[in-house]
Structure 1
Amino acid sequence: MAIASGASGASDVNCLEFKLPDLGEGLTEAEIVRWLVEIGDVVAVDQPVVEVETAKALVEVPCPYAGMVTARFGEEGAELPVGSPLLTVTVGPEVGADTGRSASGASGVSGTGAAGAGAGDSAGASGADDDSSGNVLVGYGTGGAVVARRRRVRVTGGTRTGPVPQPALRAGPVPVISPLVRRLAREHGVDLRELAGSGPDGLILRSDVEQAIRTPAADGTGRAAPVDAGRASEPVTAVAAPISATATATATAAAAGSRVPLRGMRGAVAEKLARSRREIPDATCWVDADATALMAARAAMNAAAGPAVPKISVLALLARVCTAALARFPELNSTVDMEAREIVRLPSVHLGFAAQTERGLVVPVVREADGRTTESLNEEFIRLTEAARSGALTPAELTGGTFTLNNYGVFGVDGSTPIINHPEAAMLGVGRIVPKPWVHEGELAVRQVVQLSLTFDHRVCDGGTAGGFLRYVADCVEQPAVLLRGV
């Protein structure tokens, strides 16, 4: 913990270390996008202190403690594993007065944390259960936080004063949470067993491996030397040192051009698409459809609703068509359990739709889409699209889909072979709707034509089922009244 002592005679304070919490959905790391507080700022309980990007979404992380920020760990753009130090907060009578509460109440600690401080400190822990954070983070309950008793911390110009405690080396294997850290070590020939992790309980961090890469081995064997155990636990106050010239030259020689790390949301998308190609034997069928009647029906619906009502989108109409088609062909609303060698038919349609944002492709999910009207689907599409563009989607809104609708026609293309969103069984791709020559009622005419593509998991059905699904969708596009048969 990055804590130091102040001048003698200063009153005791509690120094609390806030670690990056488990953000759910099995996520093991997050990238710091933007710090919302500076060193020396006074924060309140549940105040957002940092904005991080996970493989799922952009998240503001609230601090469960109240007090003064005395250290931050990680620059913007750095990746931190779950459980590594994020910042430290100093809580004391003076700080408590600034935040409108006592030091004990601001700290959000219970009697469990105070017990270790001895009877003489019991007064400083009273009332903690009443004022502790109600915003429960995984690993940070509303009580029971462990505190460390230290002297007052003096913050001068954003840096600390005083010694930094050195964590002891662990006996046996040292844990590594982040797959990124393991890959970085493997690519540079760093033996993780030789490193002393600077994270909590000996956890090896990315900064440990980078330091080992920068430090040549003293014995001439070419292996990276162990890192100083206390170095990487220092709070970052400047841009991290660049990788050595040797490592840079090696990377340049290996491949010309710039390199873009596959991490965060982009990395998660890459892994999911690669997994889909590895595990799913997919096939694609497509058909051209005359969408003139569908576009006319949409125009009539919007004209009848009036200008104050949100316009029904083509995506909402196609989503309504998809839910009707999945009711007829439930094989495509399923997933495959290879361990049990079973096809799992899913009871509800949770419809995902591809949305392009500044941070890359995301697939928000409309829950219980099969029970929604066209108007309800349209409202949910609008809400989720706005949240996607602002980076406000929650992990729950990005997971759990059972079927995906991909309208790549907005990019001005006619067709594609969509990659299935693992572990789903199918995806419907929709091209642009454009005027084309078409034989209509025995005569050549200019009609609004769209290409529909269905990529499906060949394990859940054969081509007859997939063709039947796609043909039904095309029939509804060409004659929207077909939907009325199932109403």
Structure 2
Amino acid sequence: MGQYTIKMPDIGEGIAEVELVEWRVRPGDAVAEDQVLADVMTDKATVEIPSPVAGTVLELGGQPGELMAVGAELIRLEVQGEGNVKAQAVAAASAAGAREAMVSREGAPALPPADKGSGAPRSVQPANPVPAATAQPIQRAPGERPIASPAVRSRAWELGIELRFVHGSGPAGRITHEDLDVYLASRGQSSVASRPESAWAQRHGEEAIPVIGLRRRIAQKMQEAKRRIPHFSYVEEVDVTELEALRAALNKRYAAGRGKLTLLPLLARAVVLAVADFPQMNARFDDDAGVVTRHAPVHLGMATQTDAGLLVPVIRHAEALDPWACAREIARLAQAARDGKASRDELGGSTLTISSLGPLGGIVTTPVINHPEVAIIGVNRIVERPVLRGGAVVARQLMNLSSSFDHRVVDGMEAAQFIQAIRALLETPALLFVE
């Protein structure tokens, strides 16, 4: 038997380091060739790291949230044959492990071996982690931070579970959905019972949530956008009664063969047509070089909420898509983003972005521009309200467009004219189908 070290691969695009987001294996696990070992994140997307060989996991080279340099040791496996680690190095590591065990038995803390690839201490996971099926409720020390994904935290809140009492069976003590199930089973009572007995009881404690992975990237990107771009917003009310009637008629006639239309592909078409008269909106601003690049193709970013956070998949050449083709592409990209399968190319290169919160869209929003773009179109929810038309009060379906612009390259008058052009197209939807 030998040992095989897998190092952080060069993912390309000149990337020197990546963030370790999640381990897919634990020490002691058997690994097949091409099995995914870990998820890492670049500036653009999450990338899966597969194993080039089969073996058994001996040691993990980092903890979720750590930045790892390309070429640093990612994971070490025990494999059939000689492996790629010299026998002398294996013997030295074994001797070091024996010394650490001896020191540990004598009462001193055992320290993990240093990562020679990165020069930083390596986080070593326990060789025999506690299986989730035998995990028991625990009480964490004050200040100890339970590690869990946003989806697990959300589910724990819905179930009324305090994560500080839950044993984490994942890497570095990460709490999984299975751990929540085990906690509920071991508690032997309904989730409702975990809530305070009185609605007026005091609550104590706090929870510190590490900002890692996609959430860290979102935070950095939003901070950069607000720091570098002087935003201004423009809000206009749009009567979408006729648009909604047309959409319903098209769906009734064509849904079986072409698929259903939502509002977004029709809005995308209006944006594409308006951009023809306002090319300065379909642009990217390199403020370091002082150059605004106007783009002929409309690569439309579509802000999409996922369990991990906000992603912006890109509809390539939206100007060449009819509403049904655009609807299919929106659905495909949104599903790929939510499943974590969107490629780097699908998550970059947009020239103008649409942001929509659907039925939760509120009355007014102030969307943040997707740097280095110069404009973003925000869609608010549709509401039915009484409107005075021709001296009579009638019910109409109204929606606000809340859009933001880079004031360095877009003037207020231009922004208003652009949104008014979109409004005219949406309020007279037949124009969407006229070249």
TM, length-normalised to structure 1: 0.64
SS at 1:324 equivalent: helix
CA contact (8 A) 1:197 1:203 kept: no
2:260 to 305, 308, 311: 311
Are 1:163 and 2:151 matched, yes or no? no
Are 1:148 and 2:137 matched, yes or no? no
Runs (5+) with no aligned partner, structure 1: 1-12, 94-102, 108-146, 155-159, 166-195, 209-231, 249-255
Task: Report the residue type matching 1:269 in the other structure.
Answer: I
Determine the structure 1 residue equivalent to 2:115.
Answer: 199
Please give the alpha-carbon distance, in whole angstroms, between the structure 1 residues aligned to 2:399 and 2:143. Answer: 54
Shift of 1:440: 3.0
Please give the alpha-carbon distance, in whole angstroms, between the structure 2 residues aligned to 1:386 and 1:404. Answer: 18
Shift in alpha-carbon separation, 1:451–1:482, aligned structure 2, 3 A: same
Task: Report the residue type matching 2:127 in the other structure.
Answer: T
Shift in alpha-carbon separation, 1:484–1:202, aligned structure 2, 3 A: closer
Please give the alpha-carbon distance, in whole angstroms, between the structure 2 residues aligned to 1:482 and 1:371. Answer: 16
SS at 2:127 equivalent: coil
Please give the alpha-carbon distance, in whole angstroms, between the structure 1 residues aligned to 2:144 and 2:76. Answer: 33
CA contact (8 A) 1:434 1:449 kept: yes
Task: Report the residue type matching 1:423 in the other structure.
Answer: P
Give the 5 Å matches for 1:4-19: 15-19=3-7
Please give the alpha-carbon distance, in whole angstroms, between the structure 2 residues aligned to 1:268 and 1:279. Answer: 16
CA contact (8 A) 1:17 1:89 kept: yes
1:369 to 318, 340, 347: 318
Determine the structure 1 residue equivalent to 2:402.
Answer: 453
Give the 5 Å matches for 1:394-473: 394-473=343-422
CA contact (8 A) 2:62 2:124 kept: no
Please give the alpha-carbon distance, in whole angstroms, between the structure 1 residues aligned to 2:93 and 2:333. Answer: 47
SS at 1:423 equivalent: coil
Worse-matched range after superposition: 369-378 or 392-401? 392-401
Give the 5 Å matches for 1:109-120: none
1:61 to 49, 58, 63: 49
Please give the alpha-carbon distance, in whole angstroms, between the structure 1 residues aligned to 2:374 and 2:338. Answer: 27
Shift in alpha-carbon separation, 1:282–1:42, aligned structure 2, 3 A: closer
Shift in alpha-carbon separation, 1:308–1:370, aligned structure 2, 3 A: closer
SS at 2:401 equivalent: strand
SS at 1:262 equivalent: coil
Shift in alpha-carbon separation, 1:409–1:201, aligned structure 2, 3 A: closer
Determine the structure 2 residue equivalent to 1:118.
Answer: none
CA contact (8 A) 2:44 2:344 kept: yes
Task: Report the residue type matching 2:415 in the other structure.
Answer: A
CA contact (8 A) 1:21 1:82 kept: no
Task: Report the residue type matching 1:82 in the other structure.
Answer: A
Alignment: residue pair count:
353
Task: Report the residue type matching 1:390 in the other structure.
Answer: D
Q: Calculate percent identity across the aligned residue pairs.
A: 32
Deviation string for 1:36-76 (max 9, x for gaps)?
475362522x3323344556444321122x23234231577
Shift of 1:456: 0.6
Please give the alpha-carbon distance, in whole angstroms, between the structure 1 residues aligned to 2:353 and 2:426. Answer: 18
CA contact (8 A) 2:63 2:123 kept: no
Deviation string for 1:337-360 (max 9, x for gaps)?
223222111232111111112112
2:30 to 41, 44, 65: 41
SS at 2:365 equivalent: coil
Please give the alpha-carbon distance, in whole angstroms, between the structure 1 residues aligned to 2:326 and 2:255. Answer: 18
CA contact (8 A) 1:282 1:457 kept: yes
CA contact (8 A) 1:56 1:398 kept: yes
Please give the alpha-carbon distance, in whole angstroms, between the structure 2 residues aligned to 1:73 and 1:60. Answer: 16
RMSD of equivalent CA atoms: 3.5
Shift of 1:87: 1.6
SS at 1:198 equivalent: coil
SS at 1:384 equivalent: helix
CA contact (8 A) 1:416 1:453 kept: yes
Determine which structure has more spread, i.e. the larger CA radius of gyration. 1
Shift in alpha-carbon separation, 1:233–1:303, aligned structure 2, 3 A: closer
Please give the alpha-carbon distance, in whole angstroms, between the structure 2 residues aligned to 1:403 and 1:306. Answer: 28
Task: Report the residue type matching 1:199 in the other structure.
Answer: D
Shift in alpha-carbon separation, 1:152–1:47, aligned structure 2, 3 A: farther
Determine the structure 2 residue equivalent to 1:393.
Answer: 342
Deviation string for 1:325-372 (max 9, x for gaps)?
112211011122223222111232111111112112221111121222
Please give the alpha-carbon distance, in whole angstroms, between the structure 2 residues aligned to 1:263 and 1:27. Answer: 18
CA contact (8 A) 1:286 1:452 kept: yes
Please give the alpha-carbon distance, in whole angstroms, between the structure 1 residues aligned to 2:250 and 2:16. Answer: 43
SS at 2:75 equivalent: strand
Determine the structure 2 residue equivalent to 1:279.
Answer: 228
Determine the structure 1 residue equivalent to 2:18.
Answer: 29
Determine the structure 2 residue equivalent to 1:261.
Answer: 210
Shift of 1:281: 1.2
Shift in alpha-carbon separation, 1:40–1:444, aligned structure 2, 3 A: closer
Determine the structure 2 residue equivalent to 1:81.
Answer: 68
Please give the alpha-carbon distance, in whole angstroms, between the structure 1 residues aligned to 2:31 and 2:207. Answer: 41
CA contact (8 A) 2:275 2:282 kept: yes
Shift of 1:410: 2.6
Please give the alpha-carbon distance, in whole angstroms, between the structure 2 residues aligned to 1:340 and 1:52. Answer: 31
Please give the alpha-carbon distance, in whole angstroms, between the structure 2 residues aligned to 1:72 and 1:202. Answer: 16
Determine the structure 1 residue equivalent to 2:127.
Answer: 237
CA contact (8 A) 1:55 1:266 kept: no
TM, length-normalised to structure 2: 0.72
Shift of 1:151: 8.0
CA contact (8 A) 1:198 1:233 kept: no
Are 1:72 and 2:9 matched, yes or no? no
Please give the alpha-carbon distance, in whole angstroms, between the structure 1 residues aligned to 2:69 and 2:317. Answer: 32
Shift in alpha-carbon separation, 1:289–1:247, aligned structure 2, 3 A: closer
Determine the structure 2 residue equivalent to 1:50.
Answer: 38
Give the 5 Å matches for 1:316-395: 316-395=265-344
